[in-house]
Structure 1
Amino acid sequence: MTDKTTATTPGNWLYQAIDRIEADYQRSADTHLIPLPLPVFSGHGIDLYLKDESTHPSGSLKHRLARSLFLYALCNGWISEGSTVVEASSGSTAVSEAYFARLLGLPFVAVMPRSTSAEKIALIEFYGGRCHFVDKAGEVYDAAREVARQTGGHYMDQFTYAERATDWRGNNNIAESMFTQMQRERHAIPAWIVVGAGTGGTSATIGRYVRFQRHATRLCVADPAGSVFARYHRTGDASLTAPGSRIEGIGRPRVEPSFIRTLVDRMEEVADAESIAAMRALSDMLGRRVGPSTGTNFVAMLRLACEMRAAGTSGSILSLLCDSGERYLPTYFNDQWVADCMGECGPASASIRALTA
């Protein structure tokens, strides 16, 4: 019997590439589920949890997305040996895709605004990626297509394919992992799952899985100021635009194809000051820094918990710790940068700490 990894067939490189990604997955344990014991809620039968996605090899929730996008592109025949992989991303998706491109020995180009932080650029380059800069965030899409055309490569296009690259019925997607880890908790089926949306891929996977499994769980998307998703969810108008989010990794200035509004039960709009205050309060609770999008998620979790407490209902609320705050030391954890770019956070901080003390 001929082993598929050594067979001299036209698909030899393809099979080896898939094997490398699957082997990388097998070397990785599942991410931890962290309980957040908050006395103001736990005494009322309300439990909060975070699934810690910062422990993936490339450091964020986007590791799952990048793995799915690579497998999707490989199995569709869009990537072959020597292909240049191109992505429009200035954040964690580019870092994670650079990781998988290096794993497969493929060139990788991240198309991003010139304003991208030096820390993210350094991480992409650490994994062997190259950064291509544009002047404005809205220019990344066309620029990525052009780079792919010039190199004869493949534009990964996370904003289109994120919602379809993951098998939401099972296959250890993030939703299945969440529900498996919750099985022995006192409220095993969450009342709410809270996520942010950049592409919309995570909310689509979780929303579809919840329906497929016939769970009573509802899905809430926490949307930062400046993002278009909350207005789109209310109106259904896909032509809407917005200034764009200042919370890195979530929110978008345009409606992305992967954001499926009909899967989302509720949107929570979160001001920048609230996201920063919640990020810092949660970092103090955990004894380690978390990123700003996790702060946005935490604000929505606290709002839902307050509503449940007021209504006298019990249950669990589950969200994601998206990435480590170490990537944001010069920005969101820098008081002067926050004052200059985000404004006054004092009142928001006082409100959040009253719930987390």
Structure 2
Amino acid sequence: MAEPVDRTCDRTRAWVNEAIRLVEADANRSADTHLHAFPMPPEWGVDVYLKDESVHPTGSLKHRLARSLFLYALANGWIVGGTTVVEASSGSTAVSEAYFARLIGVSFVAVMPRSTSPEKIALIERYGGKCHFVDRAPEIYAEAQRLADDTGGHYMDQFTYAERATDWRGNNNIAESIFSQLSLERYPIPEWVVMSAGTGGTSATIGRYLRYRRHDTRLAVVDPENSAFFPGWVTGAADYATGMPSRIEGIGRPRMEPSFVPSVIDLMIPVPDAASVAATRHLRDVTGRWAGGSTGTNLWGVWHLVARMRAAGTRGSIVTLICDGGERYQHSYYDDDWVASKGMDLAPYTATLERFFATGEWAPPENP
């Protein structure tokens, strides 16, 4: 009869215990992110709120994801003292994971496209991470796995584990936070939550929470050019792939990711990249808030839905996210030369937004 095998190592368990304490202490030190009211024409009867995820310690929505991924990996025994953590990322997740890797004292390597903004690369390196570049966006997955195998490290794989690392039932996830912060507003149960998708983890969390809590709120997911999510959702093809990178960093993927859960989404809205950039700049001009391109994608979807609500005579509220701050994109979305080099014409989309807020007419360009 075989003898019992004991793999317990008191020193390893103590290290993991301390690492989990450090990660949870980071959350305990942080107040919740703000929920800003966008200035809307009062006669429209539609309130719009922006949950500002840029105020996290690492400046983006991905701080929540990175914390959850680290706790998930630590609890599963995948990260112990001396483990090299490797991630495939377009930037923001890698910034946040580099922060948590430094917090618990492990090495971190980010595998990313060469087109990643220099501001994000500098942040990763500031937190002690190393950047490993690939020429084509679809190469990040296999290269990250190869590096993890070569170093005996752990490939975090946000695109697989994002939807399962966060407790969608509550426990102060982003959906629960939104509804708590809306509780004293005139429309505390929003008509829509609008969210863009990178891994798909946040949209999965929000969509599941809405159903679990039996809210009538619907989830709209907006998607930039070149992304596989919208055509995959429309056709039902779980293996849909474009093989093309998104120009809106942090969202849109060249393939349907494992963490993207189509069945919890009520509506998907494709958004031209020029519309995303125009909406980002419009937010700055109206509110003084600088945000990244994914926030502009969110907002274009919001204005589409505001117009639908007004046409139907529906009063209520819509919530979306400021995914990250604009300081990371001074050399891209806020740079006219960069925008021109990408062949984007913002003028018709800017005119659409200006006309909408001046007259209430929503008439986006038909042939972007």
TM-score range, shorter-chain basis? over 0.9
- The aligned counterpart of 2:290 is 289
Q: Indicate conservation of the 8 Å contact 2:33/2:53, yes or no.
A: yes
Runs of 4+ residues deviating >6 angstroms: none
TM-score (norm 2): 0.93
User: Structure 2: where are the runs of 5+ without partners?
Assistant: 1-8, 359-368
Q: Indicate conservation of the 8 Å contact 1:194/1:220, yes or no.
A: yes
- The aligned counterpart of 1:231 is 231
Indicate how the Cα distance of structure 1 residues 68 and 350 shifts in structure 2: closer, same or farther if over 3 A, else same.
same
- The aligned counterpart of 1:332 is 333
Q: Secondary structure at the match of 1:259?
A: coil
Q: Indicate conservation of the 8 Å contact 1:44/1:312, yes or no.
A: no
- The aligned counterpart of 1:25 is 27
Alpha-carbon distance, 1:354 to partner: 2.3
> Is 1:315 aligned to 2:288, yes or no?
no
Residues 343-354 of structure 1: matches in 2 within 5 Å? Answer: 343-354=344-355
Residues 249-260 of structure 1: matches in 2 within 5 Å? Answer: 249-260=250-261
Deviations along 1:149-201, one digit per CA (max 9) or x if unpaired, are 11110000000000000001111000000000000000000100000000000
Report the AA paired with residue 305 of structure 2: L
Q: Indicate conservation of the 8 Å contact 1:38/1:355, yes or no.
A: no
Q: Secondary structure at the match of 1:11?
A: helix
- The aligned counterpart of 2:58 is 58
Residues 116-265 of structure 1: matches in 2 within 5 Å? Answer: 116-242=116-242, 243-265=244-266
Q: Indicate conservation of the 8 Å contact 1:291/1:327, yes or no.
A: yes
**Whole-angstrom CA distance in 2 between matches of 1:353 and 1:291:** 20
Q: Indicate conservation of the 8 Å contact 2:52/2:323, yes or no.
A: yes
**Whole-angstrom CA distance in 2 between matches of 1:34 and 1:68:** 25
**Whole-angstrom CA distance in 2 between matches of 1:210 and 1:307:** 21
Report the AA paired with residue 321 of structure 1: I
- The aligned counterpart of 2:272 is 271
Q: Percent identity?
A: 62
**Whole-angstrom CA distance in 2 between matches of 1:32 and 1:185:** 14
Indicate how the Cα distance of structure 1 residues 179 and 270 shifts in structure 2: closer, same or farther if over 3 A, else same.
same
Report the AA paired with residue 158 of structure 1: Q
Q: Indicate conservation of the 8 Å contact 1:31/1:55, yes or no.
A: yes
Q: Indicate conservation of the 8 Å contact 1:110/1:129, yes or no.
A: yes
Deviations along 1:255-281, one digit per CA (max 9) or x if unpaired, are 000000001000000001110110000
- The aligned counterpart of 2:36 is 34
Report the AA paired with residue 276 of structure 2: S
Alpha-carbon distance, 1:45 to partner: 1.5
**Whole-angstrom CA distance in 2 between matches of 1:284 and 1:356:** 13
Q: Indicate conservation of the 8 Å contact 1:162/1:200, yes or no.
A: yes
Q: Indicate conservation of the 8 Å contact 2:33/2:55, yes or no.
A: yes
Deviations along 1:14-68, one digit per CA (max 9) or x if unpaired, are 11000001111111100000001211xx313111000000000000000000000
Indicate how the Cα distance of structure 1 residues 310 and 213 shifts in structure 2: closer, same or farther if over 3 A, else same.
same
Q: Indicate conservation of the 8 Å contact 2:117/2:328, yes or no.
A: no
**Whole-angstrom CA distance in 1 between matches of 2:127 and 2:111:** 15
Q: Indicate conservation of the 8 Å contact 1:247/1:292, yes or no.
A: yes
**Whole-angstrom CA distance in 2 between matches of 1:329 and 1:34:** 23
Alpha-carbon distance, 1:238 to partner: 1.7
**Whole-angstrom CA distance in 2 between matches of 1:234 and 1:117:** 31
Alpha-carbon distance, 1:11 to partner: 1.2
Report the AA paired with residue 99 of structure 1: Y
Q: Indicate conservation of the 8 Å contact 2:198/2:251, yes or no.
A: yes
**Whole-angstrom CA distance in 2 between matches of 1:256 and 1:8:** 37
- How many residues end up aligned between the 2 structures? 349
Report the AA paired with residue 260 of structure 1: V
Q: Secondary structure at the match of 1:38?
A: coil
User: Structure 1: where are the runs of 5+ without partners?
Assistant: 1-6
- The aligned counterpart of 1:105 is 105
Alpha-carbon distance, 1:90 to partner: 2.6
